[in-house]
Amino acid sequence: MLQAMKLKDKIVVIVGGSRGFGKALANLFIAEGSKVAIVSKNKENVESTGQEIGATPFVADVRDEQSLRDAAEQIHKQFGRIDIWVNSAGVFKTFPKEDLIDMDKAHELFDINFFGAVFGCRTAFPYLTESEGVMINILSSAALDATRAKNAKLYAASKWALRGWIEAYRGEKAESPVKILSVYPGGMKTHLHDEAIPEDFENFMDPVYVAEKVIDSLKLDNPEPDLIIKRPKV
Ligand SMILES: NC(=O)c1ccc[n+]([C@@H]2O[C@H](COP(=O)([O-])OP(=O)(O)OC[C@H]3O[C@@H](n4cnc5c(N)ncnc54)[C@H](OP(=O)(O)O)[C@@H]3O)[C@@H](O)[C@H]2O)c1
């Protein structure tokens, strides 16, 4: 099992590591001495971020489980093992008119936020079993309380669905050596919100602040299985 305070030389995979929270977390792992592979859909984004921060880029679309498996296999071949796997890829979509749901858009949201993370878990599990490693799933505070998820009912629902899946999965895998962790951040200032900038976006958290909380928790002997990260009180 991962020892406290020892992130040095760990092999870390961050799916959704090209931007936003995933990129901030990748940077912090690198600062701790981990070797980081970042995986995302857009080749140009993931390659330029890889070069910028010193992570190794891999291209995969989380909607396509085989592409994730291919990336994991290449990473395992290149680095020899996988110690930590982070499912951070996600999209935010709003549906302002509740009686006019664009079903293609709704399916895309669930295919990425829900099934994409499920595929990530399934892909990572054998490698993490081998390394007795850690899986980290990035959910959202909207999966705990969706009352303020205005026009974002389906986004909140995709994260509630994932929360249910992860809880059941964790129960099923209780005897395995893999630690299955969930993180529930509040709003972060990232490009996730480009489609619809929230009114209080100014007050959203810096993704680096959230990433620091995740690293702090990982360094504990027993990392918090359900880490809730709220905006700091001002
Ligand atoms: N920002 C917030 O307020 C907030 C709050 C709570 C939770 N979260 C969650 O935090 C996670 C990260 O979000 P973020 O704020 O960092 O968003 P972001 O800046 O938009 O980054 C999203 C990341 O996901 C990747 N991605 C999207 N679709 C993908 C696909 N089909 N296959 C592979 N990679 C894909 C993107 O890569 P490409 O550029 O290659 O597409 C990018 O690396 C998400 O799960 C989000 O729901 C965010």
**Per-residue confidence (pLDDT) for residue 4, from 0 to 100:** 56
Q: Which residue from 83, 113, 107 is spatially nearest to 95, judged by alpha carbons?
A: 107
13-62 tens-digit pLDDT: 999 999 999 999 999 999 999 999 999 999 999 999 999 999 999 999 99
Any idea what the CATH number is for the domain that residue 64 is in? 3.40.50.720
At residue 29, the pLDDT reads 98
| Residues near 147 by beta carbon (within 8 Å), at least 6 away in sequence | none
How far apart are alpha carbons 162 and 168 in whole angstroms?
10
Is 50 exceeded by the pLDDT of residue 3? no
Q: Tens digit of pLDDT for each residue in 95-126?
A: 987 667 899 999 999 999 999 999 999 999 99
Distance 59 CA to ligand 1 centre (A): 14
Give the Cα separation of 125 and 72 in Å (integer): 11
Question: Of 16, 13, 7, nearest to 125 (Cα)?
Answer: 13
Take atom 19 of ligand 1 and give the residue whose Cα is closest.
20
Asked if residue 184 belongs to a domain, the reply is: yes
Q: How many separate domains does the chain show?
A: 1
Global pTM reads 0.97
Residue located nearest, by CA, to atom 46 of ligand 1: 90
**Residues facing 59 on adjacent strands:** 40
The answer to whether 117 and 91 have CB atoms below 8 angstroms apart is no
Query: Which of 161, 148, 146, 169 lies closest to 111, judged by CA?
Result: 161
Question: Above pLDDT 90, what percent of the chain?
Answer: 88
In a domain, 156, yes or no: yes
| CA 181 to ligand 1 centroid distance, Å | 18
Q: Which atom of ligand 1 is least distant from the CA of 113?
A: 45
CA angle 84–88–92, rounded 5-degree value: 175
Nearest alpha carbon, ligand 1 atom 47: 90
Q: How many other C-beta atoms can be found within 10 angstroms of the C-beta atom of residue 6?
A: 14
The pick from 13, 19, 23 for probing ligand 1's pocket by mutation, whose C-beta has the most ligand atoms within 8 angstroms, reads 19
| Residue 2 covered by a domain | no
The predicted pLDDT at position 234 comes to: 63
**Mean pLDDT score, 167-183:** 98
Question: What is residue 6's predicted lDDT score, i.e. its pLDDT?
Answer: 86
Give the domain range for residue 135: 11-229
Q: Is 90 exceeded by the pLDDT of residue 224?
A: yes
Q: Is residue 1 part of a domain?
A: no
149 domain residue, yes or no: yes
pLDDT tops 50 at residue 133: yes
Is 4 within the bounds of a domain?
A: no
Q: Do 133 and 218 contact (CB within 8 A), yes or no?
A: no
Is residue 5 included in any domain, yes or no? no
Percent of the chain with pLDDT over 70: 97
Model confidence at 151, pLDDT cuts 50, 70, 90, reads confident
Q: What is the pLDDT of residue 101?
A: 85
Domain-embedded: residue 88: yes
pLDDT given for residue 149 in this prediction: 86
Confidence of residue 2 (pLDDT cuts 50, 70, 90): very low
**69 CB burial (10 A radius; 0-12, 13-18, 19+):** middle
Query: How many Å lie between the centroid of ligand 1 and the Cα of residue 98?
Result: 24
Mean pLDDT across 202-215: 97
Mean pLDDT over 206-230 rounds to: 97
Predicted confidence at residue 1, as pLDDT, reads: 46
